[in-house]
Structure 1
């Protein structure tokens, strides 16, 4: 009996060590933001073998679904800018659904231009942004030097090494946009795919992607103690509601609750949040 138990333990150790080697690892934490209008900061430590040495400790701030001005108004926007600057992010990524009215686009982008990061701000758009004010948004992003990634890939360089940020154009129109911008990239690169809806990462092949960032679901926005949401804007139901999830090819996705609200100006057990991702190089 003891001999068999010994062999089982050895096999288990070999199995888990082989799973860990060459794969990604996550740890996460949550804390109150301390700023009215944003409930919490959710931090993910992401360790991956493709993260270059120069990007070990690289800090990414990720926000989405501001829906300005919904429940998220002027005071909340000012607090968001302060909060993001206090996070000392190296880059800011924005996942779309910026506004709830064309008159709010320019004030929103002007305020967000006050977020200072060494490597800039990168944006994809959501369904609200394609339905109205698209030209206003594009002009505003250009005015403030923010990078719009519509089926484009941008390169972040540090100390002779690089990571790639790929952005999806209108992920709801798969007839036009159903080929992921990551397909032509190298599997050896560290690649982040920014898309408004998490469904895109399941609907189409996203080969060469190491991490997906998405929003759109609002964490359900109105939930029963965070356990059940009657309305989730995803055709996969609660599967991609919030947090760290994986598509069918086991590519990790971080899905944020976002910041603003749509339809009704209420959140219930789906707190608004800023997401921080800290990259780490996996050591042998």
Structure 2
């Protein structure tokens, strides 16, 4: 049996330690300086059996969780605006958390949103961060930038005689969400898309006449380790944390985007920021 001297053992141990430290250092640099600003454009096809024929191949840009604040970079906002307009969406939907904490950054967020236009309009709902003291500022900023903020209400999109309903509720977790009010007077047989910040409330909505729920909030976990998954997901954002879900025994589908910004920790790992481009099919 081969043996190694104490000196050789210490040398190999030092090499392994340096290698691990180097890997950790590189991962730290990547997760802090690179991935949080490496935007992924994710194209998703969603079939809605009740979608009217006139809205077949209707394109929606869905983004969420901008969390504009101290960790935001102006060039990242510029890229986001360019990418949204480049895909020529029919409709733009934002599902909450425009600001991280401070209202001091509202002008930067408004500057971004003011660049975004789609033929069928721009619609938004508030998230839990928006409801913590910046509600009026965020609502005013989004409105000034051309977004219609849906507070427990809906709008109707029309093409010929076909109609598609877009409903939105106040933040279900810390706001004053009223799903009944949002759906009031929508025909039971109509195709309806719901904007709601926290995805896991879909379990409360699955028996209602809603076809698709668009959500954010979870950030996809923000840090996802191979073979482990997300290290942390926030309350009401863990069951449907990222991607498309079909709820059992329901017509309701949920799409949760990983969001644009970061919160708590200024890092992302194996969980790039996401701009979602949804094409609807009947």
| TM-score band w.r.t. shorter chain | 0.7 to 0.9
Residue aligned with 2:199, SS: coil
Q: Measured at CA, do residues 194 and 279 of structure 1 come closer, stay the same or move farther in structure 2, by a change above 3 Å?
A: same
Answer yes or no: is 1:126 the counterpart of 2:127: yes
Residue aligned with 2:225, SS: coil
Alpha-carbon contact 2:36-2:273 (below 8 Å) kept: no
Residues 72-126 of structure 1: CA distance to partner in whole angstroms, max 9, x if unpaired?
3211111100000001001100010111220111221222111121111100010
Alpha-carbon contact 1:224-1:269 (below 8 Å) kept: yes
Unaligned runs of 5+ in 1: 1-34
Alpha-carbon contact 1:215-1:258 (below 8 Å) kept: yes
Match of 1:7 in 2: none
Match of 1:114 in 2: 115
Alpha-carbon contact 1:70-1:261 (below 8 Å) kept: no
CA distance in 2, matches of 1:261, 1:60: 23
Unaligned runs of 5+ in 2: 1-34
RMSD: 2.3
Residue aligned with 2:79, SS: helix
Number of equivalences? 246
Alpha-carbon contact 2:244-2:256 (below 8 Å) kept: yes
CA distance in 1, matches of 2:99, 2:237: 25
Answer yes or no: is 1:143 the counterpart of 2:144: yes
Residues 219-255 of structure 1: CA distance to partner in whole angstroms, max 9, x if unpaired?
0001112742221113574x31211123354321001
CA distance in 1, matches of 2:270, 2:70: 18
Answer yes or no: is 1:76 the counterpart of 2:80: no
Question: How high is the TM-score relative to the length of structure 2?
Answer: 0.80
Residues 177-236 of structure 1: CA distance to partner in whole angstroms, max 9, x if unpaired?
364723652232111011000122113455110001111000000111274222111357
Q: Measured at CA, do residues 163 and 278 of structure 1 come closer, stay the same or move farther in structure 2, by a change above 3 Å?
A: same
Deviating runs (4+, > 4 A) in structure 1? 173-176
Match of 1:215 in 2: 216
Give the 5 Å matches for 1:11-22: none
CA distance in 2, matches of 1:236, 1:140: 26
CA distance in 1, matches of 2:144, 2:184: 30
Match of 2:51 in 1: 51
CA distance in 2, matches of 1:172, 1:179: 16
Match of 1:27 in 2: none
Give the 5 Å matches for 1:120-269: 120-173=121-174, 177=178, 179=180, 181-182=182-183, 184-204=185-205, 207-225=208-226, 227-235=228-236, 237=238, 239-250=239-250, 251-269=252-270
CA distance in 1, matches of 2:230, 2:85: 32
Answer yes or no: is 1:98 the counterpart of 2:98: yes
Residue aligned with 1:199, SS: helix
CA distance in 2, matches of 1:55, 1:165: 13
Give the 5 Å matches for 1:6-45: 37-45=37-45
Which protein has the bigger helix share? 2
Alpha-carbon contact 1:193-1:211 (below 8 Å) kept: yes
* Structure with larger RCO (C-alpha < 8 A, sep 6+): 2
Alpha-carbon contact 2:198-2:237 (below 8 Å) kept: no
Residue aligned with 1:80, SS: helix
Match of 1:272 in 2: 273
